Amino acid sequence: MRAVAERLGVSPNALYSHVETKTALLDDTLDDVLAAVEASPPDAGDPTVGIHALMASTYRVLLAHADLVPFYLARQGARGPNAQRLGDVMLALLARGGVSGSRAREALHVLVVYTIGSAAFATRSPLATGDATAPAGDHDAHFDRGLRWILAGISLPPG
Amino acid sequence: MRAVAERLGVSPNALYSHVETKTALLDDTLDDVLAAVEASPPDAGDPTVGIHALMASTYRVLLAHADLVPFYLARQGARGPNAQRLGDVMLALLARGGVSGSRAREALHVLVVYTIGSAAFATRSPLATGDATAPAGDHDAHFDRGLRWILAGISLPPG
DNA sequence: ACCTGAACACCGTTCAAGT
DNA sequence: ACCTGAACACCGTTCAAGT
């Protein structure tokens, strides 16, 4: 808050004429950021490719705003109109891929958890296993590989 | 810090005779908590079942210490001896399942991201999609389902 | 409607001093 | 070796008052 106020050349408490609380401001900011996620229309092309592209775009956008990611997780995902839109597109893509109902909601949840979690882990880098620090460009490749695994798993018949 | 000090009946700065910083204290606490994760010996039974059990135990332990999870994510995983041990067991299980080398490290990373991310999302509950709040017991089932998907995806031939 | 000054109730941490 | 008191440099937020 105080840093934002300084950036605006205004006293800290002046912000409270425009914003309810710090959390509300972050919520709004997060949803603004999600506007940059590219979601191509869900009714064209291979739905699996569409899902992959949407999650990859989300991952990139989150990485570009790394400081917001911990907050994103603390809030357990966004709830603004842009988050809604992305969720709806995802469900449409899943439906076209033959996944619907509670299975689709579970799939969406898994994909969201994995994507936000990956962004959180990538932002400062060493793996949880005590491995040496991975080169920065590797994160995208790692994310991509894991995403493919999950998509492959989802498309399997229910166990 | 001040809350911990009060619990110990001591002044806040007294803690700094025993601990370098708040972060160091949390790091140690986190690794202590991970000691409770049950890792059966990796050389018996179906390795996929072993992996599933280990990640499910991690998930449960993290949920039992929900307040630590955001910190866990901010630190991008633990680095203490218990985290090391669990990582080693995981790699042994993956090897017995036919996954090794960089593919095994990627698989471990995906599983860790998914497990910690799930714990973070489950701790206070609504999904990212604006869905109604899910009953608390559903989280375990959701986690289990997603974990199975990921394990199925990992065991597929490399793409 | 939007801002300011002053203040409140917090933080983590340091430092000198005590035993 | 372990604690205390006092202080520092922060927080987010409120409240009364100004324009």
Strand C contact residues in chain B (22-51), C-beta within 7 Å: 22-23
Q: What are phi and psi of A132, to 5 degrees?
A: -65, 155
User: In sequence order, what E strands does A11-159 have?
Assistant: none
Average confidence (pLDDT) over A34-58: 93
**Which has the closest alpha carbon to A81: A121, A27, A45?**
A27
Return the residue of B nearest to A31 by Cα.
B128
Query: What is the Cα–Cα distance from B63 to B56, expressed in whole angstroms?
Result: 11
Residue B40 is predicted with a pLDDT of 84
Contact A117, A128 (CB under 8 A): no
Least confident of B39-43, B61-65, B143-147: B39-43
Query: Is the CB of B7 within 7 Å of strand D?
Result: no
Residue B124 is predicted with a pLDDT of 58
Q: Is A79 on the interface with B (CB under 8 A)?
A: yes
Q: How far is the CA of A16 from the C1' of C5 (A)?
A: 15
Q: If you average pLDDT over each of A8-17, A61-70, A147-156, which comes out highest?
A: A8-17
Residue B157 is predicted with a pLDDT of 66
Question: Contacts of residue B124 in chain A, CB cutoff 8 Å?
Answer: 76
Per-residue pLDDT tens digits for A54-69: 999 999 999 999 889 9
**Which has the closest alpha carbon to B111: B136, B85, B129, B91?**
B91
Model pTM greater than 0.75?
yes
Q: How far is the CA of A12 from the C1' of C4 (A)?
A: 10
Query: What is the Cα–Cα distance from A150 to A153, expressed in whole angstroms?
Result: 5
Residue B147 burial class via C-beta count within 10 angstroms: exposed 0-12, middle 13-18, buried 19 and up? buried
Among A110, A143, A144, A148, most B C-beta atoms within 10 A, so best to mutate, is: A110
The CA–CA distances, whole Å, from B10 to A128, B15, B26 equal 34, 8, 19
Query: What is the Cα–Cα distance from A64 to A43, expressed in whole angstroms?
Result: 28
Nucleotide with smallest C1' distance to residue A9 CA: C3
Residues constituting chain B: 159
Query: Is the CB of A10 within 7 Å of strand C?
Result: yes
Please give the share of chain B, as a percent, with pLDDT higher than 70: 89
Look-up of token digits 């810090």: B1
Residue A17 is predicted with a pLDDT of 97
Q: Is A105 on the interface with B (CB under 8 A)?
A: yes
Torsion of CA B50, B52, B54, B57, to 10 degrees: -140
pLDDT at A97 over 50: yes
Q: What is the mean pLDDT of chain A?
A: 88
pLDDT at B155 over 90: no
Residue B75 is predicted with a pLDDT of 80
